Amino acid sequence: MTWMTIAHMWGGDVGWGWMTLTMILTVLFWGAIVFGVVWLVRGATGGSSASTTTPVETPNAMEILQRRFAEGSITVDEYRTRRAILRGEDLDPSGLKGAGA
């Protein structure tokens, strides 16, 4: 017996049970499709939300040295010595220029 024969025996109706099951499965199917698309889009964009923040750059050593010199926290001799160290330049034999050694 096929399902058509059984449906015909019931007066051509498959019943509320099958209709309800079909509606539930249809909603689950489309929900899975929507979830999959959202998951793929978020994965492709790195999961970022609409409100993105710009990353803050941390200053490097030379920028910090220049800022400290501009603020007056260090002297000209200290600035030149530290700049030479950061650049990898050779210092005088005492090891520090203008350190008063």
CB 74 within 8 A of CB 82: yes
Domain of residue 82, residue span? 58-101
pLDDT given for residue 82 in this prediction: 92
* Domain-located, residue 68: yes
What dihedral angle (degrees, nearest 10) is formed by the CA atoms of 38, 40, 42, 45? -140
| Residue 75 within any structural domain of the chain | yes
pLDDT exceeds 80 at position 10: no
User: Do the domain assignments include residue 64?
Assistant: yes
- 62 and 101 co-located in one domain: yes
**pLDDT for res 13:** 61
Count of domains for the chain = 2
Give per-residue pLDDT as tens, 48-92. 665 566 777 888 899 999 999 999 999 999 999 999 998 888 766
Q: Answer whether residue 20 shows pLDDT above 90.
A: no
